Amino acid sequence: MSDNASGRPDPAPLDVHDRLGHAVKRAEQALIGEKSRVLRTVDLTVPQYVTLLALHRAGGMSGAQLARECLVTPQTMTTVLTNLEHKGLITRETSSVHQRVLVARLTRSGRALVKKADALARDVEQRLSDAFDDAERALLRELLDRATAALRRPDRPTD
Amino acid sequence: MSDNASGRPDPAPLDVHDRLGHAVKRAEQALIGEKSRVLRTVDLTVPQYVTLLALHRAGGMSGAQLARECLVTPQTMTTVLTNLEHKGLITRETSSVHQRVLVARLTRSGRALVKKADALARDVEQRLSDAFDDAERALLRELLDRATAALRRPDRPTD
DNA sequence: GGTGCGGTATCAGGGCCCTGATGTACCGTA
DNA sequence: TACGGTACATCAGGGCCCTGATACCGCACC
């Protein structure tokens, strides 16, 4: 692989900052950083907010469903749900159709909070959106989707 | 439907998947997921690899310098460096000019490993790059940079 | 009935990442 | 010399996220 016999580091230096992936990373970091900042004012983390939002859209959901929806593992979702339950924002009850399944639902205060949090998060999303015109938005989305597809490992089916 | 005291109509769509930010997140997740996967074969995490790469480029660096370079907090860099030191990939010695500063340097095996790891990470970066032609690459970078700039907090120098 | 398989939830362990706080080393300035 | 500001490293605590392993439920198939 790395023929060091010549003592020459033949792979070019290639600063990380030159790579395209770094631009993606910086954008994502700026996005999540801003969302974290505004959501902290209502004492929520980004994953907690995303989970509440999914529950608000879909009503009762199991932990496994939420994990798939929010793009995290079931183990991660377990801890997020535990924290949300301790905050009194959700309840979890065993499903009527499957004894093993715990269905999470928003409580009254959970419903109230998710609306407040979504207004805050939406402002951030709006700032992002406002940086582009319609054509640019569509273009950026298309390029990002292509990047995502290119990076998915070959033997795994899409999403 | 809602106890909306503000008089505004409830925000309608609420689907995370429609938002532009979600495309950014998915792309970043695919990128870091792939890099994690290939780097696991050499027993490195992504932050560990990025840190080694910075040291390979620049030689000896302090923890604070590395933190700034790798876009993490000094606290985070402390733990990354601790783990790298335990693996025998770096050494840390007090600076000759400042008693408080610890300068990190690659060991022999650290130098060897970073080359192997970079070859792997480069493949992923190449897959991403290959999804676009030159014009598209430049365009994507420009749009992402604009997104990053738009998300940086504009007001509130309240720190 | 029994068996195996897939889905679900959770524990254990490790790593990253942040905020907040602590203690030390240097340095400019009075 | 004394002091305050800045920079550095680290501890403490909390949260997210992953892999691997365990246990339990329901269902199809034998």
Q: Is B71 left (phi over 0), alpha (psi -120 to 50) or beta?
A: left
Q: What is the mean pLDDT of residues B64-87?
A: 96
Protein residues bordering strand D (Cβ below 7 A): A 45-48, 71-73, 75-76, 79-80, 83, 98-100; B 62-65, 74-75, 78, 81, 92, 98, 100-103
Contact B26 A129 (CB under 8 A): no
In the predicted structure, residue B13 carries a pLDDT above the cut 50 = no
Q: Is residue B159 part of a domain?
A: no
Q: Is residue A140 part of a domain?
A: no
Q: Is residue B109 part of a domain?
A: yes
Query: Residue B97's pLDDT band (boundaries 50, 70, 90)?
Result: confident
> Counting Cβ atoms within 10 Å, is residue B108 exposed (0-12), middle (13-18) or buried (19+)?
exposed
Contact A31 B24 (CB under 8 A): yes
CATH number, domain with residue B40: 1.10.10.10
Which residues in B lie closer than 8 A to residue A12 (C-beta atoms)?
Answer: none
Q: How far is it, in rounded angstroms, from Cα A13 to Cα A15? A: 6
The residues near A17 (Cβ < 8 Å, ≥ 6 apart) are none
* pLDDT of the residue at A49: 96
Q: Is residue A4 part of a domain?
A: no
Mean residue pLDDT across chain A: 86
Q: How far is it, in rounded angstroms, from Cα A115 to Cα A108? A: 11
**A with B: how many residue pairs have Cβ under 8 Å apart?**
169
Using a pLDDT cut of 70, give the percent of chain B over it. 84
Q: What is the mean pLDDT of residues B28-36?
A: 91
Distance from CA of A90 to the nearest CA of B (A): 18
* pLDDT of the residue at B17: 58
Range in A60-69, A106-115, B149-158 the model is least confident about: B149-158
Dihedral in degrees, nearest 10, Cα atoms B105, B111, B117, B121: 70
* pLDDT of the residue at A96: 86
User: Among B50, B26, B131, B135, which Cα is nearest to A22's?
Assistant: B50
Q: Is residue A25 part of a domain?
A: yes
Which residues in A lie closer than 8 A to residue B115 (C-beta atoms)?
Answer: 1-2, 9, 11
In the predicted structure, residue B64 carries a pLDDT above the cut 50 = yes
User: Among A53, A50, A78, which Cα is nearest to A63's?
Assistant: A78
Q: How far is it, in rounded angstroms, from Cα A84 to Cα A51? A: 9
Which residues form the domain of A38?
Answer: 18-126
* pLDDT of the residue at B68: 94
B132 neighbors A151 (Cβ within 8 angstroms): no
Q: How far is it, in rounded angstroms, from Cα B59 to Cα A13? A: 13
Helix (H) or strand (E) holding A144: helix A134-151
Residue-wise pLDDT for B103-144, tens only, equals 999 999 999 999 999 999 999 999 999 999 999 999 999 999
Distance from CA of B60 to the nearest CA of A (A): 16
Query: Residue A61's pLDDT band (boundaries 50, 70, 90)?
Result: very high
A71 neighbors B22 (Cβ within 8 angstroms): no
B54 neighbors A16 (Cβ within 8 angstroms): yes
Q: How far is it, in rounded angstroms, from Cα A66 to Cα A52? A: 10
* pLDDT of the residue at A157: 44
Q: Is residue A29 part of a domain?
A: yes
* pLDDT of the residue at B136: 95
Range in A21-30, A41-50, B52-61 the model is least confident about: A21-30
Q: How far is it, in rounded angstroms, from Cα A60 to Cα A97? A: 13
Q: Is residue A79 part of a domain?
A: yes
> Counting Cβ atoms within 10 Å, is residue B24 exposed (0-12), middle (13-18) or buried (19+)?
buried
Distances in whole angstroms, Cα of residue A53 to Cα of each of A6, A113, A115, A122, B9: 57, 10, 9, 12, 18
Contact A141 B112 (CB under 8 A): no
Q: Helix, strand, or coil here: B105?
A: strand
CA angle centred on A9, ends A6 and A14, rounded to 5°: 160
This prediction's pTM: 0.87
* pLDDT of the residue at B20: 87
Q: Is residue A135 part of a domain?
A: no
Which residues in B lie closer than 8 A to residue A141 (C-beta atoms)?
Answer: 20, 23
**Number of domains making up chain B:** 1
